[in-house]
Amino acid sequence: MSVYVDYAATTPFDKEILEEAVNNAENFGNPSSIHRIGKDAKADLQKHRKRIAECINAKPNEIILTSGATEANNLAIKGISEAHDKPHFITTDIEHASVRTTYQNLSEEYDVTFLSAKENGQIDAEELKSSLKDNTVLVSVMMVNNETGSMQPLYEIAETLKEHKALLHVDAVQGFGHMDIDVENIGADLLTLSGHKIYGPKGIGLLYLKEGIKLSAQITGGSHELSRRAGTENIMWVHAFSLAMEKAASERSKRTIKEMQMKERFLNELTEKKIPFEVNGDVNNQSSHIVNIYFRWTEAEFLLTALDMAGIYVSAGSACNAGTVQPSHVIQSMYNDEKRALQSIRFSFSHLMEEEDISEIVNQLEKIYNRLYEREMI
């Protein structure tokens, strides 16, 4: 029996969505062409864009279609930086690499403030407030951390920024489908999403850009996406993205209840089996589908290999470099403990999972723990 428990990394493409997108892909035209076939393609594109926008309470012209959230995050940050003179930025040191690395590179030229996380996984909103400067133009904070599931105090942050000219950029990749996302309610000026985290296709994402905000294009060429992102749009994938967003939104309550049940069962069975563990962050302030576990009795690199051999597919939530697992920058920020960061594993659940899947994961963890414990006793 094998169990996939890495849904924060990617999700399987919903077969019904794929089938519908393929069956309605007969319009092959380029939406930028001025003939009838091109105009029909453009009409389809705009129809799908409108459906996408409605899922987050945005206007169709506020949606920039991209190749994914990595491109969208890069476009948001670089596009804003190039539209301002001597800007200051604020972000956190627990962001996804597409945000964190982009800011690290920008810090060679611009003033960037990186905020650390507390042990509960959240940043301090008061620290953010005190870090604001007259020339602060953008604050980038993710909604749900991709490694720990910790949720940031977005409403408090947005309220703070109401008194400042700085824009709020939200990476909502791990949030959509697990919580309600209304760009007006959360006060986002820019927001990014990805298709493959919500049972849609890889290679499609979006940047929501509030109407009236100036942004410098990063991919130039044609006048696609209102001259904000050049490149012929993949209409079939845009269609599939819209379907995945609508389905995730309509089934959100049912999905999150199932995810929470899987997560709670996992933690309860670990406790019942007396497998030593600690949850990284505050389990009461996390999304329904992610939990990050500290196993002080082993190294993440060994445990990943042992679980993989047992048919359990999971992630350390940290980057691999030349075949070695690097300590999670997120866990290090929270606990200032490199050893803990090297002994932590992320488990991310899905509404597609069943109770027997959870039991299999825990049973395999118990076998690995018992083998290590017995070896230490000899």
* pLDDT digits 0-9 by tens, 316-365: 875 443 355 688 999 999 999 999 999 999 999 999 999 999 999 999 99
Q: Give residues with Cβ within 8 angstroms of 304, minimum separation 6.
A: 314, 315, 316, 325, 345
CB burial class (10 A; 0-12, 13-18, 19+) of residue 221?
Answer: exposed
CATH number of 15-250: 3.40.640.10
Contact 140, 112 (CB under 8 A): no
CA-closest candidate to residue 282, choices 119, 93, 92, 116: 119
Pairing relationship of beta strands 88-92 and 111-115 according to DSSP bridges? parallel
The neighbour count for residue 103, using CB atoms within 10 Å, is 23
For the full predicted model, state whether its pTM sits above 0.85.
yes
Q: Which residues of 292-331 are buried (b: 16+ CB within 10 A; e: fewer)?
A: bbbbeebebbebbebbeebebebbbbbeeeeeebebbbbb
174 within 8 A of 200, measured Cβ to Cβ: no
List per-residue pLDDT tens for the chain, 378 residues long.
Answer: 899 999 999 999 999 999 999 998 888 999 999 999 999 999 999 999 999 999 999 999 999 999 999 999 999 999 999 989 999 999 999 999 999 999 999 999 999 999 999 999 999 999 999 999 999 999 999 999 999 999 999 999 999 999 899 999 999 999 999 999 999 999 999 999 999 999 999 999 999 999 999 999 999 999 999 999 999 999 999 999 999 999 999 999 999 999 999 999 999 999 999 999 999 999 999 999 999 999 999 999 999 999 999 999 999 875 443 355 688 999 999 999 999 999 999 999 999 999 999 999 999 999 999 998 875 543
Q: What pLDDT, on the 0 to 100 scale, is given for residue 321?
A: 39
What's the rounded Cα separation, in Å, for the pair 259 and 257? 5
- Write down the pLDDT at residue 352: 98
Any residues with CB less than 8 A from the CB of 273 and at least 6 apart, and which? 362, 365, 366
Show which residues are catalytic. Answer: 320
Look at domain 3-10+251-377 and name its CATH class. Answer: alpha beta
CATH 3.90.1150.10 residue window(s) in the chain? 3-10+251-377
C-alpha span between 171 and 96 (Å, rounded): 8
Chain mean position to CA 62: 20
d(C-alpha 366, C-alpha 267), whole Å: 13
Looking at the chain, which residues constitute the CATH 3.40.640.10 domain(s)? 15-250
Output phi, psi for 190, to 5 deg: -140, 140
pLDDT value at residue 319: 45
User: CA–CA separation, 341 vs 299, rounded Å?
Assistant: 9
